[in-house]
Amino acid sequence: MSPIDSTIPYYPVNDFGPLMKGLVIGGVGIVHVFLAQFAIGGGMLMWYFERLGQRGQPDARSFVDGYFKVLVLVSFVVGALTGVAMWFTTIQVGARTIGLMIDEFHWLWATEWVWFAVEITAGYAFYRYGPRLAGPARLRLLALYALASWMSLLWINGILAWQLTPGRWLDGGGIWAGFFNPSFWPSLLFRTAVSTTLGALAGCIVINTMDIPRDRRAVLIRRASRFAAPIAAMPLLALWFLAVLPSDSRSWLLGGSMPMTMFVGVAAGASLLVGGYVIVGLIAQRLYINGATATLLLGLAFGATAAGEFVREGARKPYTVRGVLYSTSIRPDEVAALRAAGATARDPYPLRDRYPTEQLARGARVERALCDACHTMRGANALVELTRTWTDDQLRLNLAKLQRTKGFMPPFAGNALDVEALVQLLRWERADRPAGFAAPAASPDVLAQIARWLDEAGTAPAGEAR
């Protein structure tokens, strides 16, 4: 948003139609995280099975040379593509956030890319030349692949965890304080456990496609299941993660925001089912698992991943970088100036739609600058639906005191005319955009009342900065 005191240009939020921007990012992100984590666990499993193979377990060797390596190849290729797609979509919604992340973590990000390049090269080299290489070289190549893929997780994890819990970085602790922030370790360990579990489950599916007698498949399955054992630590890691969250985010997860609480429940329930089957069924009772059941468990794991990522992203609201940058790309210390100058004073971009009056066009600009990152007009998290039953004064009050209406929204970063323009825009949209729309002329009394509400709400966010 118009950074009045900054040289960064203002980029408007791009509109993805009825889909909320967050949903698009979330959708791409979930597929990406799932594939990328599988690519890590799958790589580790391949190394383990290769070692078994070289120690005289011939089926393990044919596992490594079979479909599984194709699966790993596909997942790191599609993982790479969706990874780029992530930055491509996020930059259309929060260019300033991505800019800040790159400024702050330039070299760490570059380091991540180097590991990533090593991962891709090692993985592809194994895929292409593995069958022709001698044993030690095969092992080294797989170890390099697994290490590099985990290292790229380690580096990106620090940057993403910093967005949620910047910790001592906020006190000027510098880049390493930001990188090794409070949620760095719990989320790194958690994701590592998820990775090995995904690798093991996909391994069990592939083992079932192997053309060998069932008892020999059972031997491989027992080996692969051990790989999922870290899932037993997930409840503890999840509690650790919860403990380092800022208290307001934690309270949303624990009942304060029902959609988030329900997703926590879905993630926990699905993980418990997968974990229970793995620990009790596969490891303790040494059950055989067929391809269909393994696929079902992998599907559950996908659900848990999706729900978990939703919660993690949601817990960061109203920030993209906690305490530093709101989801609207406005810094907390810019709100006061925007209250004086108006939300759209520095917005040079045209609107996509036509509006019958100047005031409605202004409302549309205000919506684009202050709400569009998290809402749409009529699609997901639709403003028209959320406010359909509200009276005009109710709208004025709740928008002026936005951060008090719900703590996961930032303070309203505009003036009284902006609030009124948005109120009239919502009325017009609610009436299905009539061509002739005569908004009641905003009386000085109404504007003065809105200004008082804005003052009462103040320019500080509802929650603590950390």
By the criterion CB under 6 A, which residues form the site for ligand HEC? 317-318, 327-328, 370-371, 373-375, 381, 383, 386-387, 398-399, 402, 405-406, 408-410, 412, 422
At position 440, the amino acid (one-letter code) is P
Residue with tokens 């590099």: 148
Q: What is the DSSP string of 194-252?
A: HHHHHHHHHHHHHHHTSSS-HHHHHHHHHHHHHTTGGGGGHHHHHHHHHHHS-HHHHHI
Alpha helices in 130-170 (DSSP H): 135-164
Nearer to ligand HEC by C-beta: 261 or 405?
A: 405
Count of C-beta atoms within a 10 Å radius of residue 337: 17
Q: Which is nearer to ligand HEC, 196 or 327 (CB)?
A: 327
CA dist., res. 386 & res. 333, Å (int): 28
Our CB check for ligand HEC shows the closer of 297 and 395 to be: 395
Phi, psi dihedrals of residue 325, rounded to the nearest 5°: -140, 125
CB of 77 to ligand HEC, least distance (A): 33
- What do you get for the CA distance between the two ends of the chain, in Å? 22
Q: What is the crossing angle of helices 416-430 and 444-457, to 10°?
A: 110
If the CB atoms of residues 186 and 363 are measured against ligand HEC, the closer one turns out to be 363
Give phi and psi for 4, each to the nearest 5: -55, -40
State the minimum distance, in angstroms, from the CB of residue 188 to ligand HEC. Answer: 26
The smaller minimum CB distance to ligand HEC, of residues 220 and 374, is found at 374
CB of 49 to ligand HEC, least distance (A): 45
Burial string for 42-79 (b: 16+ CB within 10 Å, else e) reads bbbbbbbbbbbbeeebebbbebbebebbebbbebbebb
Cβ closer to ligand HEC: 32 or 316? Answer: 316
Q: Which is nearer to ligand HEC, 209 or 381 (CB)?
A: 381
CB of 410 to ligand HEC, least distance (A): 6
Minimal distance, residue 326 CB to ligand HEC, in Å: 7
Residue 239 CB contacts under 8 Å (≥ 6 apart), including other chains: none
Closest CA to 97 of 87, 112, 83: 87
CA gap 194, 37 in Å, rounded: 7
Instruction: Pick the closer one to ligand HEC by CB: 37 or 89.
Output: 89
In the bound complex, what is the minimum distance in angstroms from residue 1's beta carbon to ligand HEC?
A: 10
Nearer of residues 53 and 318 to ligand HEC, judged by Cβ: 318
Is residue 10 within 8 Å of 1, Cβ to Cβ?
A: yes
Task: Give min distance, CB of 426 to ligand HEC, in A.
Answer: 8
Cis bond before residue 332 (omega within 30° of 0):
no
Closest contact distance (angstroms) between CB of 432 and ligand HEC is: 19
Residues 260 and 307: beta-carbon distance below 8 Å: no
* Tokens linked to 337: 């100036």
Minimum gap (Å) between residue 56 Cβ and ligand HEC: 57
Q: Residue 374 Cβ, how far from ligand HEC at the closest point, in Å?
A: 3
Minimum distance of ligand HEC from residue 428's CB (angstroms): 14
**How far is it, in rounded angstroms, from Cα 441 to Cα 148?**
63
| 361 vs 355: CA distance, rounded Å | 5
**DSSP class of residue 168?**
G
Q: How far is the CB of 140 from ligand HEC (least distance, A)?
A: 47
Give the Å distances, CA to CA, from 188 to 12, 168, 437, 444. 33, 19, 54, 55
Rank residues 298 and 422 by Cβ distance to ligand HEC and give the closer one: 422
For 286, which DSSP code? -
- State which residue, 105 or 408, has the beta carbon closest to ligand HEC: 408
- Return the number of the residue (187 or 328) whose C-beta is nearest ligand HEC: 328
